[in-house]
Amino acid sequence: MSSKIEIIKELLNNFGNEVLKSKEYAEICLKILSKLEKHPDKPMLSGQENIWAASIVHAVGSINFLFHSKSTPSISKTEFNQHFGTSSKVIEVKSIQIQDLLHLSSYNTQYLIKASQHDNPIDKIKEVIIKKFGVSEAEVEEILKHAGHPDCPIIPKSDYSALTIIPKQKFWDWVATQTNIDDLSHEMKTDFNIYLIPDIELESSLEEELHENFEEIFKIELARYIKIDSKFPEVNFMEFLQWFDVKSSSHVMDLTGELLDDFDDEDFFDDDLGPKDKNKPPDFSQN
C-alpha cells in the first residue's frame, strides 16, 4: 500500500508542478490523497495508481475550474487524459465519488486555488439558475453556501432517463481476483451506479443506448477495483448481462445536485467516435 501511495504522490507532484506549474495545485491534491488514505471506507485499497492520481486532480480541478480555458491554470480534458493515460468517463465517475466522499465544493475554501477565487465562473452559473428555476439570488446563495455538504439543498434536474447497473455474482467473483473481498465495506458491497441520459440526447431506445455503450459502462464499473497489472476482461453484450442486472427508468429526476456541472462538447463527444456514429454518448453521471 505504501509503495502505491508513493507512486500516486509522484504522479500528483509531477502534474501539479511540471504540467500546471502550480505548487499550490500539487499541495491540495496531496492533501486529498492523505484524506483518502485515512478514510474509514479504505477506498485506496484497490484501483490503479494513474486512475487514482487523475481522479484526484479531476476532483480538485472540477471545483477550481481547471477545464475552463479562461482559468489559470487550465488544461483541456483531452490533454489531461492523454497525460495520465486514462478514459474520460472512468475518471469523471471516480472524481464524483471522491467529491461526494470528502464533500468537496467550490465553496469549501480549504481546497480552492487562490487564483480561481478571483475570476470565479460560478457567478455566471448563478445567473443561469436564477433564470431557469425562477429562484431569488438569496436562495441561490443559500444553496451554494451549503454545496458539498450532506444536508445541501437540492436543485433537481428533470427530463432524464436512467439505467441502473447492479452487480451480479460474476462481477464479485472477478473483484475477488483483484482485492480481498473482506476488506470492502458493506456500503461498497451494496453500492450501485445509476447512469443518467438526457432525454434530449436520447435518439434511440434505452435498450439500444445500453447496447451502444455497454463496453464503456463495463470499464467504469470495474475501474474501482482493477489492479495496476490487470487488464479489463473482454466481454460481448450477452456476457455483460451475465455480470450485471440492468433496470431502466424513464422521466426521472437527478437528485445528486450535479446541476453545476459545465458540460461542453468534449463531455458529449469522444475522440474515437467515427462519422458513422449516429447517437451522441449519454451524460453518464453517477447518482
Say yes or no: 85 and 163 in one domain. Answer: no
Distance CA 152, CA 147 (A): 5
Is residue 276 domain-resident?
A: no
Which position has the higher pLDDT, 139 or 159? 139
* Cα separation values, 227 from 42, 50, 175, 239, 286, Å: 15, 11, 10, 21, 22
CB within 8 Å of 108: residues ≥ 6 apart: 63, 148
Q: Which of 15-19, 63-67, 142-146 has the highest mean pLDDT?
A: 15-19
Has residue 208 got a pLDDT over 90?
A: no
Say yes or no: 102 and 134 in one domain. Answer: no
Say yes or no: 6 and 111 in one domain. Answer: yes
Domain housing 90:
2-115
* Cα separation values, 61 from 91, 163, 232, Å: 12, 27, 27
Has residue 287 got a pLDDT over 90?
A: no
Residue 101 has a pLDDT of 87
Is residue 44 domain-resident?
A: yes
Query: CB of 245 within 8 A of CB of 69?
Result: no
Say yes or no: 93 and 168 in one domain. Answer: no
Is residue 172 domain-resident?
A: yes
Has residue 124 got a pLDDT over 70?
A: no
Residue 35 has a pLDDT of 94
Say yes or no: 105 and 186 in one domain. Answer: no
Query: CB of 95 within 8 A of CB of 258?
Result: no
Say yes or no: 238 and 178 in one domain. Answer: yes
Query: CB of 54 within 8 A of CB of 48?
Result: no
CATH number at residue 25: 1.10.472.10
Say yes or no: 162 and 254 in one domain. Answer: yes
* Cα separation values, 71 from 58, 60, 117, Å: 15, 14, 10
Is residue 286 domain-resident?
A: no
Least Cα distance to 26 among 4, 18, 100, 1 occurs for 18
Say yes or no: 176 and 264 in one domain. Answer: yes
Q: Which residue has 468534449 as its cell numbers? A: 266
| Total structural domains within the chain | 3
Is residue 27 domain-resident?
A: yes
57: its cell numbers: 486532480
Q: Which residue has 489559470 as its cell numbers? A: 72
Say yes or no: 94 and 6 in one domain. Answer: yes
Least Cα distance to 106 among 89, 94, 119 occurs for 119
Q: pLDDT tens, 141-189? A: 666 665 544 444 444 444 567 788 999 999 999 999 998 888 888 877 8
Is residue 283 domain-resident?
A: no
Distance CA 148, CA 248 (A): 28
Residue 108 has a pLDDT of 66
Has residue 263 got a pLDDT over 70?
A: no
Is residue 196 domain-resident?
A: yes
Query: CB of 93 within 8 A of CB of 284?
Result: yes
- Residue 262 pLDDT level (bands cut at 50, 70, 90): very low
Is residue 274 domain-resident?
A: no
Share of the chain above pLDDT 70, in %: 68
Distance CA 21, CA 26 (A): 9
Q: pLDDT tens, 84-103? A: 999 888 898 899 889 888 88
- Sequence-ordered alpha helix ranges (H) in the chain: 2-14, 23-38, 49-63, 77-84, 88-102, 114-118, 122-133, 137-145, 169-176, 186-190, 206-223, 237-243, 265-268
Residue 98 has a pLDDT of 92
Say yes or no: 17 and 89 in one domain. Answer: yes
CB within 8 Å of 21: residues ≥ 6 apart: 73
Say yes or no: 179 and 226 in one domain. Answer: yes
Question: Other CB atoms closer than 10 Å to residue 140's CB: what's the count?
Answer: 18
Say yes or no: 26 and 107 in one domain. Answer: yes
Distance CA 76, CA 90 (A): 16
